[in-house]
Amino acid sequence: MTPLRNLPSVDKLVQAVQRATDTDSLPRALVVQAARTELDATRAQLQAANGAATAAPPLEALVQQVQQRLEALTAPSLRPVINATGVIIQTNLGRAPLSAAARAAMQAVSLGYSNLEYDLAAGTRGSRTVHLSGIVQQLTGAEAALAVNNNAAAVYLVLLALAVGREVIVSRGQAVEIGGGFRIPDVLRQSGALLVEVGTTNRTYPRDYEQAINANTALLLRVHTSNFRLVGFVHETSLEAMAAVGRKHGIPVLDDLGSGSLLPTTPYGLAPEPLVQESIAAGADLVTFSGDKLLGGPQAGIIAGRADLIERLKKHPLARALRVDKTTIAGLEATLQAYLRGQALTEIPVWQMIGMPLAPLHQRATALAAQWQAAGIVAQVTTCASAVGGGSLPGETLPSVGVTVDPGAGHANRLAQALRMGAPAVVARIADDNLLFDVRTVLPEQDAALAQRVADVWQMIGKPAP
């Protein structure tokens, strides 16, 4: 008798699963699908053995596999992660963690109805754009502001509304590609704007912009090279000089900051990152920046600048397609209020991490290492370097403190994978065949969960043989 004949029928396997598992809350069709899929996979494995001495798995093993399939089908795909990589704005891990105030505000407006597009004072229809415009004006000095779903969308909307079929002048050294294949020349082409590159890769002067202006020029564009830096024999036209050229010829200047910051980075030993309010003060007519990078809020793109230009953006048909929802508006407003109160450094996780001194980091790392050592784990405190990340401050790092765990030669990947697959998932760095946990990017309230998770995984997989 072939092993295939020993496989149960779909009905028999479904009944066994139902006896072993509480499936009352699941549609029977879902259980049947999982059972059929498991039997198909097992049948394919047995057929691939091609006569080798392979027995059909027992019913109990098949039930367990179906249970795992059901758990995978019904579990959320998007899960919380403890970020021990040392990269503060970790794009792959969701960029900026939100402040407690932002989370509370987002939850509050999601529990029921809200005045998203309703003027409570007048009792008439309102606009969702009013909720953020005023506070952005206060913080940046801009005349008006508009939020869309990310910074790429912000740039795209400006080009569509102001430059379709017309020329946009940009320095050749700023016709760049940022994360995710977002290329400035491609965006210009897709928007219907015409790219005009001036200067050279390493040197561009005000006269280069001025000489390229003609009757078909719509915008002067400055793009912050947020994920790389040119050094050496370079010259970049200042935003003030670009704005002067723009004013002289009546051409608006768009400053795409990418990340965008409202606080200076130099007090923390980092290179200067352009500030949104400085761009407005320097004469930029429109400034675009992200909500979920150095700002520390939910994903969004914010456009700040002249009121007449913002009004044109609001009226463009694509503005409706790119608009943000009520929870994003609530999270952004709560984040911006922390800046308005002067509490961003103490309330917003991104800035808490950037500004965290080494002493408390060392204290936390020492406590983690002690707990792991008590569990028989080979762990020790070490110095390391954190990065801001998120396309901000390329090449800049912050001194930090972490804990290395030595799982034995060749076993670092195995331990790292086990940590990623559990709950909560933990992502760390592999360095010199050890796992490195940089505590700067671990939220303090996650320390206990991190300590327990590593101890549990170590015990589960066993200490590898030396």
Rank 173-187, 216-230, 386-400 by mean pLDDT and report only the highest: 386-400
Residue 355 and residue 339 in one domain: no
Residue 340 and residue 356 in one domain: no
Structure tokens at 323: 């608009």
466 located within any domain: no
Residue type, 346: T
Range scoring the smallest mean pLDDT among 1-10, 119-128, 286-295: 1-10
Query: What average pLDDT does the structure give for the chain?
Result: 91
- CATH number of the domain enclosing 443: 3.90.1150.180
Residue 119 and residue 191 in one domain: yes
pLDDT at 56: 83
pLDDT at 204: 85
Q: Above 70 in pLDDT, residue 229? A: no
Distance CA 442, CA 426 (A): 10
Residue 218 and residue 310 in one domain: yes
If one counts the domains in the chain, the total is 3
Residue 406 and residue 327 in one domain: no
Range scoring the smallest mean pLDDT among 91-100, 155-164, 166-175, 329-338: 166-175
DSSP bridge pairs for 304: 145, 287
Residue 27 and residue 108 in one domain: no
Residue 367 and residue 333 in one domain: no
174 located within any domain: yes
Q: What is the DSSP string of 196-216?
A: EEES-SSB--HHHHHHH--TT
Distance CA 321, CA 149 (A): 9
Residue 363 and residue 336 in one domain: no
Give the domain extent around 179: 98-347
What lies within 8 Å, CB to CB, of 85 at 6+ separation is: 93, 427, 428, 429, 438, 441
pLDDT at 339: 98
Q: pLDDT > 90: what percent of the chain?
A: 72
Residue 294 and residue 411 in one domain: no
pLDDT at 5: 81
Is the CB of residue 268 less than 8 Å from the CB of residue 399?
Answer: no
Could you count the other beta carbons within 10 Å of the beta carbon of residue 425?
A: 15
Distance CA 185, CA 191 (A): 10
Residue 174 and residue 273 in one domain: yes
Q: Comparing C-alpha atoms, which of 142, 127, 145 is closest to residue 302? A: 145
In sign, the C-alpha dihedral spanning 410, 416, 422, 423 is positive
278 located within any domain: yes
403 located within any domain: yes
Q: What is the mean pLDDT of residues 382-402?
A: 90
Helices (H), 283-325: 307-315, 318-322
Residue 228 and residue 281 in one domain: yes
Cis peptide before 424 (omega within 30 of 0): yes
Q: Comparing C-alpha atoms, which of 78, 91, 122, 157 is closest to residue 324? A: 157
- 283 or 203, which is more confident: 283
pLDDT at 191: 81
Residue 161 and residue 303 in one domain: yes
Distance CA 278, CA 35 (A): 61
